[in-house]
Structure 1
Amino acid sequence: MATLDELIRGLLDRYAEDDGRAGPGLLRRLDDPALRTSQPRQSGGHAPPGSRPPTPLEAVHRSQRIKTEAIALGMDLRGSPHAQPWEKALRALPPNAEASDRASETAHLVGLWYSTAQTVLGLRSPSVYFAYVRCLVCGERTNYGRADEDRPRAWCVNDACVDEYTGRPGTRASECIC
């Protein structure tokens, strides 16, 4: 799992792809239509064949939502009613999260933004809801999964689900479903 600093670096500065190539940050890719890709892997792209490229409004909407949430999270972590510019707010998240003792919560939220940006750009396949699979930890039908090439996985999205062995939501279910 990536650290909070690595996730923010991937969103803002440089996103390193699985094959070792690096490019601009994910938010810049969402904002710039020329940097978006959705070509089949055989043609040098990253999305599965037949997938549609994200519409300009969808990508920009996701980018704006991430930026707005970063500003709000920064204000909350600082305990200040004054907003910072979105880039400054994102860069200040790691020290502010440490100072407010909310590093794991902040890392989880930034990880969701990172994953969302990857999915919208076609760099990662979308997650799938398993309607008929019950979580082995909580027993609810709240499992999602993703069939990444390097690591197929599944997870429980039930907020009340906590694995007694790891203290994380639905991790035993995740390991067993895969």
Structure 2
Amino acid sequence: MKQSKFHGRVEGRAAHCAIPGCDEPGEFRAPLTPGGPDGPGSWRWLCLDHVRQHNSAYNFFAGMSPDEIEAAQSPIAGWDRNVRAFSAAGADPAPAWADFRDPLDAISARFRPGRAAPRASRFDARERDAMGVLGLADDADRTALRRRYSELVRRYHPDRNGGDRSHERALARVIDAYQLLKTARAFA
């Protein structure tokens, strides 16, 4: 059988159209039952005229409520599943890339038996002070840094607190701390 690019036609099929009484060749596949979680549904072969008739009467949304139709038409339909996150449990922790000049050294340090990779302190003195200004712990990640920065800017900015300018010094310290930390090696 040869597959034609014309409307899904499969030329050269010996079988006739599945509609009783039609002697035309059944060159177009049409769903008889919809697919489900157990696999694809069943199919039947129709001639061009009958597949056109089938397609014009087909309604994907038949039997759905308005909420189900809206969910099916969503651009993220099918992608909003709960999935298990990858776990690092049982695996060696990834190397601290910032501690190495050459990435190959970082990778090889991970696999050297009995020797740990050189580990520098996560923050220098200025960065630890900036973390204190923002009220963050040493184990904070980039997301926590951004979230805390946004929270403090909203709290101290005069446009957000009724024009109270008494917090300008605190706002400046928060901005300076964030500017320093967002380029810190620990958040790279």
- Structure with a larger share of its residues in strand: 1
Name the TM-score, length of structure 2 as normaliser: 0.22
- Structure with a larger share of its residues in helix: 1
Name the TM-score, length of structure 1 as normaliser: 0.23
Larger relative contact order (CA 8 Å, sep ≥ 6): 1
